[in-house]
Amino acid sequence: MELTLHILWLIAGLVALYYGAEWLVKGASEIALKFGVSPLVVGLTVVAFGTSAPELLVCLESMRGAVPKPDVALGNVIGSNICNIALILGVGALMKPITIHKQIIKREVPILLGASLVFVLSLLDGEVQRWEGIVMAVGIVCYVVSSLRSAGKEGGESEEFSTEDLEKVKQSGSLRIVMNIGLVCIGLVTLKFGAEWLVTHGSAIARHFHVSEAIIALLVFAIGTSLPELATSIIAAKRGEGDIITGNAVGSCIFNILAVVGITASVYPLASEGIEWVDLGVMLGVIVLILPFMWLRMQINRAQGATLLLGYFAYCVLRSTMDAGLSG
């Protein structure tokens, strides 16, 4: 009976994280658009950070209290990045081949690879120290500023907001602004409770099955906190908007490392205990793998999407087997 309650609370936490992120992004985006911020800028900042909010809240929550859980924080970020590339791009490509924009290959993927290497190097001594977290946090500020400058030079509109939606937002009155402020507040509170439920009851389930907290974070929390990105990618795949799928997945990975790890480690240094080199290797490996996929024909086709998905499931099986062997 106790296990059933933990599972139900875990599911409630996942649902709360999903809707909390949705409400936060919707409310904050409409407020920004109402005050004249361009859709492209909103997409690069509010939406990008909002979809990484579940990971950030889970990481901060896992480090609070008398017994910090750094493996949950690190496992959540590493697992989410593997999930974003292998699972989300895999699902999107399997639904419909994803066309790749040149900027993703020339700018975003190299930045992601560089940020991932910095992250891995910071773990060579077994800990992401506070100063390393600050460097990463500064890195996300530089990335956002650079993205905004690049967007300003290129111009254009974000594909995340339709013309009809933009007109509705611009014509809305003060009541709509108050409602959106309320939506942001509700989203933040929902994220807070969702993260708390996820960490508390996920850890209890791990203890019950004698599974490490790192595994729960790498495989369960990772998928749960990546639900906003997955939902966005499925909708974009149906519309044939490949730029949104790849931009969403790669951008979220960049934010996960530089913003989520950076902010968390700036407050709480993150010591790695249950994270294995295979986790970091797979995280780097999937990034390297998609590069030739993208370069060949400027797209990720269904066969390549299936390869990414099979690779993700193989990693899940391998990592679970490894953990069972270590605990045994």
pLDDT tens for each residue of 58-107: 999 889 877 888 999 999 999 999 999 999 999 989 988 888 878 788 88
Chain centroid to Cα 10, Å, comes to: 19
pTM: 0.84
Q: Give the residue among 209, 211, 220, 218 at the shortest CA–CA distance from 323.
A: 211
**Once rounded to an integer, what is the mean pLDDT over residues 144-148?**
83
Q: Give the chain's domain count.
A: 1
Q: What is the CATH number of the domain that holds 114?
A: 1.20.1420.30
Range ranked top by mean pLDDT from 136-145, 240-249, 290-299: 136-145
As a whole number of angstroms, the distance between CA 1 and CA 206 comes to 16
Judged against a pLDDT cut of 60, whether residue 161 lies above it is answered with no
pLDDT value for 283: 96
Q: What is the distance, to the nearest Å, from the Cα of residue 273 to the centroid of all Cα atoms in its chain?
A: 22
Residue 286 has pLDDT above 60, yes or no: yes
For residue 154, what pLDDT is reported?
Answer: 57
How far apart CA 296 and CA 300 sit, in angstroms, is 9
β-bridge mates for residue 99, sequence order: 299
Range of the domain at 153: 2-327
Pairwise pLDDT comparison (317 vs 101), residue with the higher score? 317
Q: Would you report the helix, strand and coil content of the chain in percent, each value rounded to 5?
A: 85, 0, 15
Indicate the average pLDDT of the chain.
Answer: 84
Inter-CA distances, 17 with 135, 188, 237, Å: 27, 9, 23
Q: Does pLDDT of 221 surpass 70?
A: yes
pLDDT at 268: 93
